[in-house]
């Protein structure tokens, strides 16, 4: 059947192969289409097992802001590889990697709809001046033991990832809103973790690493196994029209949050990141930039189950964390707790979390003692609905119980934070909690045009600890109605 399809295409295209190598192997014409599995080769490279640890010292970005640009418009002008799945339950990762090896430079790789592609093995691919069109669905198998033992290790917190993409000037697209993308079969992972945070081996479905000028657009991730996206050591990255839904369906999750660690996007050492037109439903952070992320723009985001969290940061004693030059606008954050399956209680619409200044234990559940700075962050148009707080600074973040004794020790600095046009409700009595440390008080906080009520239509409060130079609100008072 596949051979017939290939021959039929060749009749219309006139020529699938224009020349042959010295060894007789045909070479694809730049404008031809190569169909897989017929053209699949066994020659796919074996990727390294761990993303590099601490490539370089951590410093804040001090140069000029470079405008975020689309990947070049001439992408995919060469060969085109079309991948057809082997069949239900049969692994397709090898032929996808083979297609990338063939068309991943100056070409286009297409996985047509409505096909489902079984991914039962980890993938690491490199793209250059190319397009990856996932119009169907990559279905990651719920083979928990395989992924725990074989996923790529991620530097931060010794997390895991199932798929790494690196390179430059490439586009990954799902073809349209809520159309192509990933099904992580994450329910198996949620049920196994049973609400426990950072359980080892849960793989991130898609990691963008060591890449420049990247666009991910019109892409969906359903039932992610863990964090949905991880971006590391990259610049000029744009994510637009992204749909993520990681909803627990196990009734055993009622009374707890089985959706814990279902994040939208986490990042580290990323410069020039643009996230726009985003719908997220999960049980943890909608976005969570971590150390050394600079020049970021977040716009038109709807987050159900978690807000925008800066951190956690300060977890690694010898690696300073800097987050600077961030603009967020038109952000809506809400929580949805099902009476049948439970859900997440959202900590804050805008949530800043740094570890205490005393190191105890090892990551992911231990650490602390790190330093750094979060600065020049601006929110405009933040709506929260039944979140714990609308704005929350927590400089007493910890996982080891004894660390609660060191809440005033964090030396990580927060300064030049601005929040305007903040609306909505909070679940408790505190709408804004600015809990900074005595070792490094927060400086220069501006809060303008704030209108918050409790979910029961009561007045909301502002609480402040170790905060210097706050304008727009009166600390430790009730917000005006």
pLDDT at residue 36 in the model: 81
Q: Walk along the chain (481 residues) and give the pLDDT tens digit of each residue.
A: 443 333 222 322 333 333 333 333 334 444 578 888 865 433 333 344 455 433 333 333 333 344 455 554 456 568 999 999 999 899 999 999 999 999 999 999 999 999 999 999 999 999 999 999 999 999 999 999 999 999 999 999 999 999 999 999 999 999 999 999 999 999 999 999 999 999 999 999 999 999 999 999 999 999 999 999 999 999 999 999 999 999 999 999 988 899 999 999 999 999 999 999 999 999 999 999 999 999 999 999 999 999 999 999 999 999 999 999 999 999 999 998 888 888 877 889 999 999 999 999 999 999 999 999 999 999 999 999 999 999 999 999 999 898 999 999 999 999 999 999 999 999 999 999 999 999 999 999 999 999 999 999 999 999 999 999 999 999 999 999 7
The CA-based angle 226-231-235, given to 5 degrees, is 170
Among residues 436, 432, 397, 392, which one has the least CA distance to residue 414? 436
Q: Is 296 helix (H, G, I), strand (E, B) or coil?
A: strand
pLDDT at residue 71 in the model: 54
Predicted TM-score (pTM) of the model is: 0.88
The contacts of residue 186 (CB under 8 Å, 6+ apart) are 223, 224, 225, 226, 246, 262
Among residues 394, 467, 456, which one has the least CA distance to residue 425? 456
Q: Which domains does the chain have, with CATH numbers?
A: 2-53+64-478 (2.160.20.10)
Which residues are designated catalytic? 284
pLDDT at residue 63 in the model: 36
Kindly write down the DSSP assignment for every residue of 330-342, as one continuous string: EEEEE---BTTTB
Q: Is 75 helix (H, G, I), strand (E, B) or coil?
A: coil
pLDDT at residue 3 in the model: 38
């Amino acid at each position: 059947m596949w051979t017939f399809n290939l021959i039929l295409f060749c009749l219309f295209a006139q020529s699938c192969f224009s020349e042959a190598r010295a060894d007789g192997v045909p070479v694809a014409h730049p404008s031809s289409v190569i169909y897989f599995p017929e053209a699949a080769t066994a020659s796919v490279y074996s990727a390294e097992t761990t993303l590099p640890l601490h490539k370089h010292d951590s410093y804040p970005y001090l140069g000029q802001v470079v405008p975020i640009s689309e990947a070049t418009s001439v992408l995919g002008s060469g060969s085109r590889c079309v991948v057809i799945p082997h069949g239900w339950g049969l692994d397709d990762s090898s032929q996808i990697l083979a297609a990338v090896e063939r068309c991943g430079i100056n070409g286009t790789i297409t996985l047509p709809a409505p096909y489902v592609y079984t991914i039962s093995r980890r993938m690491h691919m490199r793209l250059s001046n190319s397009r990856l069109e996932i119009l169907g669905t990559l279905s990651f198998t719920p083979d928990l033991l395989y992924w725990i033992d074989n996923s790529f290790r991620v530097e931060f917190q010794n997390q895991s990832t199932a798929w790494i993409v690196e390179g430059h000037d490439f586009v990954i697209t799902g073809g349209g809103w809520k159309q192509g993308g990933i099904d992580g079969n994450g329910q198996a992972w949620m049920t196994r973790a049973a609400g426990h945070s950072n359980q080892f081996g849960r793989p991130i479905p898609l990691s963008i690493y060591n890449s420049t000028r990247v666009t991910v657009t019109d892409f969906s991730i359903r039932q992610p196994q863990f964090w949905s996206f991880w971006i590391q050591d990259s610049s000029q990255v744009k994510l637009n029209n992204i749909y993520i839904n990681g909803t627990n369906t196990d009734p055993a999750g009622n009374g707890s949050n089985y959706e814990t660690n279902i994040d939208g996007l986490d990042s580290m050492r990323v410069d020039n990141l643009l996230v726009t037109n985003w719908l997220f439903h999960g049980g943890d952070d909608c976005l969570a930039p971590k150390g050394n992320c600079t020049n970021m723009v977040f716009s038109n985001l709807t987050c159900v189950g978690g807000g925008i969290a800066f951190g956690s940061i300060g977890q690694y004693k010898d690696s300073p964390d800097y987050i600077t030059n961030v603009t967020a606008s038109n952000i809506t954050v809400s929580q949805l707790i099902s009476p049948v399956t439970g859900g997440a209680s959202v900590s804050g619409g805008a949530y800043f979390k740094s570890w205490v200044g005393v190191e105890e234990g090892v990551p992911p559940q231990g650490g602390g003692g790190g330093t750094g700075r979060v600065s020049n962050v601006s929110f405009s148009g933040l709506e929260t609905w039944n979140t714990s707080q609308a704005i929350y600074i927590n400089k007493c973040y910890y996982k080891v119980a004894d660390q609660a004794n060191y809440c005033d020790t964090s030396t990580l600095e927060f300064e030049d934070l601005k929040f305007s046009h903040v609306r909505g409700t909070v679940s408790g009595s505190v709408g804004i909690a600015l809990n900074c440390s005595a070792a490094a008080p927060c400086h220069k906080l501006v809060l303008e045009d704030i209108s918050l009520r409790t979910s029961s239509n009561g007045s909301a409060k502002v609480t402040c600890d170790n905060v210097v130079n706050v304008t727009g609100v009166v600390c430790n008072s009730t917000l005006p109605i």
